[in-house]
Chain A
């Protein structure tokens, strides 16, 4: 059992003027399952990296105070570089793919053990045990480069766990996982806390996923002191929380519930009018895909897919990791050739950047200009469009960022910039591939507002996402993919409402038909 103590820790990055950590003093008791939450740019990653000494050993910068790890021995992160803490603290970065060192899954698990000089016999046993704990036994001979997002995350956690650390640090471990995959990973983490007494610290934006698991929260806000305590109190102070907490604040429950189960206990007191059914007027189809088959080499990914996107529709494309969402978007954008079937955009074949705009999973792969405005201008210039970048930036609510350098922005802001530079192509169809990685609440609100205004102008959007709450909030239709086939297509309440995996929190509390806290609060009659 090892606890983590911050004593008056302050830190400033070398090229920055403000301190990310400012006189932080707190204690995370041994055996905690702790959540680090707050807006992007508030210093969550820095906080986590300070626990194993990556900050300041790797970053440089101005550092004061001390982080101590108290277990059988007392270790101070300033005295020992991260490598000398590796037997005690393990760290899983946000993008596990970039952190893999070796090629084969089994060797990747053994890598830390080899570095620590563990005996071969012990090593063999530890690797086997860890394969089972994270349920990655079936992947042992695979190359890490061929794994899906969810598999990668599980393998990365297994590789971190193999040496038996007492503290496990994770930066957004569920951001690339489907709801079931996220649930599995969190349950595995909880088992480590309960059975092995590991102290787990994770940063996460998807509060609806983690709030029920954690027993301690560290709340960070820009320019304000860090708060630490029980999750309900901290989230209340930050005015954030999962949808049930937002509902609690809207209808005056105190304290607001954190989990669906808490919410059900108090929900009985509410009398609700029946859910408003928003019936969409029938409109013209903008995109139509018929009989679509596609794959990579001999591996078939899409099978007989029929999808249409109407004018004014915002379609959430959902399904497990590896269900074929990205491939479908790439087919709709004309980037991936279909083996059979057709895709038409108002009767024409799709041409990316002309009549279809697709924002890829990693927005960093397209940003190159010196300023945010310059980024949008580059698209406008390429398309020969006379309009100014301001209108596009305004629509996304990021006009105030127009002179900033894209590299200096948070992940969420960068995504909005990428969407702006894609939307500037003025194509009537906008496809977004997993736009919620690293997206904090504020950026998500801006994205939702933008998508609505986009649809109001008679255009269409399709958003591939694992974020059921985003789908519940913004989607007019949901398409559910499984094994490359469309298994459901309809209004969100119908498709998501009674799904055990994909139902949003409001549907879990009040039954199918209820999607968002605002919708429920508006229907309260007494």
Chain B
């Protein structure tokens, strides 16, 4: 009986264009958009061209310090700040009128950099200019010290070397945030319409009464409907993973470089699929409850939206946590554990203890949610309007 109901529900769901659209098309669009956004974000401004406003009196020898930056065009202006305000350049560099003579005489010279912190491009240019001037400042300082007969070792007594504990590409962390976030949103959005339709929708259309009049156990009805929502969510999750894998592999350079699974590629992909299915099952349990509580599809959707928003928090929590700092609680809390486990997988780490904790915590939560759902579904108040 369970199979018959399940197959009918699946047929009904996939005949709904809205479900099809949200299950297949939406993940593709979302993935493409976010993949390109992150690719651009980690490209670190390379290939980007900038315009820097400078005084008309900006000396050619000073301009020489920017010669190695082919992507920076110097725009001479009577009023560099005004040129920046007019949006013609991304930053302005204003030198003290006596800048060159002060440098030559060994006096202090002033430089002002004006930029717009709200603009990514302007911030990038400001940083570049600051770095260029920093190097220039050091060279002047060394020359002055040499002229006074001071050895460079005395001026720079410590050489700082920075090394990373992990040999992973730092951009892997971005992918570790990107994939679970998109996956969680896609599964929630993909299975949402099916969930609303299967309980609140049936109450609204009065098919629920007809169903409850049949000699089928309510638990069987509940389980088959939950299974349908979980299936739709899992299909969305798998499509999302497939799309992200293909897009990163075929359409990006920086993100592609950041991911390297080595010999574990098959196991990692299989585990990612397993995690998606488990998350889809957990989401189905939550959405099942919001749909049972909702009297209409609209009401059910207004309850399910905040539930889907829960998927935003793990990104914020985990963005500042290193891969070796992940501990038991990160794998014991549903939703958070999807993000934690996928983060490990992106970094090529397979920790079976963490996988087991994640599966167990999700199963326990699902059972509890299912018990609540069953209690509600057995009450007249929640199954009939």
A and B assemble together: no
Task: Give residues in A with beta carbon < 8 Å to B.
Answer: none
Interface residues of B (CB under 8 A from A): none
